[in-house]
Amino acid sequence: MLVVRDLVAGYGDIPIVRGVSLEARKDEITSIIGPNGAGKSTLLKAVFNLIKPKGGRVLIDGVDVTGLPPHKLVSLGVSFLMQRRTIFPELTVEENLEMALWKMRRNLTNRRERLERVYELFPAIARLRGRPAYLLSGGEQRQVELARVFLQEPKIVLVDEPTVGLSPKAAYGIYEMLTMMKGEVAVLMVDQNIRYASQFSDKLYVMVNGVITMEGSGETLSSSLKEIVKSWLRYT
């Protein structure tokens, strides 16, 4: 679904991402883990062209989309859930979700069908539908953001640090939600929670100092987490 080949990106003349190659497939969660400053979030921004790549290629379904503006990537089915909160606090949960259906605002039947499908898939969101978003916990707000992304029916979801600042219980709920979504989309996630990432991811890439140093299935690498963290020290 998504292929990145030899991607180079950074700020000014400083390369942060240095020749990264990876793949994210439908029906899978693919995670990039690594220490702070490894270039993980910069990589996602370069894929989404929030930072213009300096080299390499990004392909979706075999089509080169390198450097396409974000709004065109959205039209091709790419969504980006950023690390910073994007919730509208004064709106209810349902009103927040309806923001994802703005283009369908005149088709009330289809809008209601899409909302009901989300409520069926994510019962926790259904229970919150009438509540103002500012009354939600951080984890609940993140769940609403994920549900809003899902409403857009993307092919690929880029997720940047989905559980930063959340309790372990709230973080677990986010990963469970991502697991339910992966049946219909390819998820490429940047994460510092290596234990949860290895537990819920089908494929893991380890990124240190702008390069991929290790890759494998989440199941395979989960038994080597201590060694992986130790390996980061060799690159710092």
- Judged by average pLDDT, the poorest of 41-45, 146-150, 159-163, 220-224 is 220-224
Cα separation values, 147 from 154, 172, 218, 236, Å: 12, 16, 24, 37
pLDDT tens, 86-101? 899 999 999 999 888 8
Token pair for residue 200?
A: 């819920």
Quote the pTM value: 0.89
Q: State residue 14's pLDDT score.
A: 84
Domain ranges of the chain: 2-233
Average pLDDT on 23-31 reads: 93
Contact 28, 202 (CB under 8 A): yes
Q: How far apart are CA 24 and CA 100, in angstroms?
A: 24
The answer on pLDDT for 107 being more than 60 is no
Contact 8, 55 (CB under 8 A): yes
The answer on pLDDT for 82 being more than 70 is yes
Q: How far apart are CA 204 and CA 110, in angstroms?
A: 37
Length of the chain: 236
- Judged by average pLDDT, the poorest of 19-23, 35-39, 98-102, 172-176 is 98-102
Confidence of residue 163 (pLDDT cuts 50, 70, 90): confident
- Judged by average pLDDT, the poorest of 98-102, 206-210, 224-228, 231-235 is 231-235
Other CB atoms within 10 Å distance of the CB of residue 210 = 23
**Which residues have a Cβ under 8 Å from the Cβ of 45 and sit 6 or more positions away?**
9, 51
Q: State residue 71's pLDDT score.
A: 92
Average pLDDT on 41-58 reads: 95
Confidence of residue 76 (pLDDT cuts 50, 70, 90): very high
Work out the mean pLDDT of the chain and round it to a whole number. 88
pLDDT tens, 134-144? 999 999 999 99
Confidence of residue 212 (pLDDT cuts 50, 70, 90): very high
The topology under which CATH files domain 2-233 is Rossmann fold (3.40.50)
By DSSP bridging, strand 78-81 and strand 156-160 are parallel
